[in-house]
Amino acid sequence: MKISSFLDISSCSNRSVFPDKQQALREMAGLLSKNPASGEETADSLFAGMMEREQLGSTGMGDGVAIPHCRLPGMKSFTLALTVCDKGVAWDSIDGRSVHIVCAIAGPVESTDEHLRLLAGTARVLSSGKARYELLNSKTDFAMRESFLYHLSPVTTKHSKKSRKKLLIMVLQEEKAYNDVMELFLEMGIEGAVTVNSDMMGPMLSNVPIFAGFMDVLGRSRPEPRMLFTLIPEEEVDSTVAAVEETTGDLDNHRGACIIVLDAVSVRGSLETL
């Protein structure tokens, strides 16, 4: 995906003032419509699309961020709009905080996968305190846009099917780590992954009386680990592991997560979702 073409400078507003969420959505629709990718869709139809999505649940993701979005039949491609609101807007966010950064996304109805990757990538950027700080302190529309694109740059297109594959196996005991990794994979355009719910050694042995005295060593927590299997192009294994460690921390010094990479002697078929 050519992210830079989605966020035109004309769709960026460094300092906005909105009296309420509805007016904010209307203004964001106007910014979205300035991009030629909006095609046949007008500011009014973009506003209606985002309002319809908002009725399904607030797009205020917390930490002062909202990502309203929609898919419409008249869109030629994706378009983004980005703004910073100094005074904040009430958005029914999950943490109850006012919204100061709004990134709106609109795209074609048929482009579900690309829309999800772009949405995940945007959410990942705006969940970063460093990225939010840079956006809130940008002095110009151009500086704000460049900062956003810089942090969004890890979003990639689908991997080449001709690349030699490696089998990557992960064990994640923490639900948050699992959710973060799945969001990361979506952002990176990884074509598919399989997850298996499993059990750890400690909780299993806690049900065996003879081992009860060892539980202080093995641990008394009852995590709900998941094993994750996916195929990664050989040349991208290191960058994928590094990206995961940005979420989990250094795996050599972090309990509760493990990555194993194996040679895949023969691969036929795909892990892509049906």
Which candidate, 49, 166, 161, places its Cα nearest to that of 109? 49
69 catalytic? Reply is yes
Q: What whole-number distance in Å separates Cα of residue 145 and Cα of residue 123?
A: 16
Q: Which of 69, 100, 115, 151 is catalytic?
A: 69
Cα 12 to its chain centre, rounded Å, is 21
Query: Are 79 and 106 in contact, with CB atoms under 8 Å apart?
Result: yes
Query: Are 64 and 97 in contact, with CB atoms under 8 Å apart?
Result: yes
Which candidate, 210, 204, 209, 197, places its Cα nearest to that of 222? 204
Phi and psi for 192 in degrees, rounded to 5? -175, 155
Query: Are 208 and 199 in contact, with CB atoms under 8 Å apart?
Result: no
Helix H, strand E, coil C: the string for 96-118 is: CCCEEEEEEEEEECCCHHHHHHH
| Residues catalogued as catalytic | 69
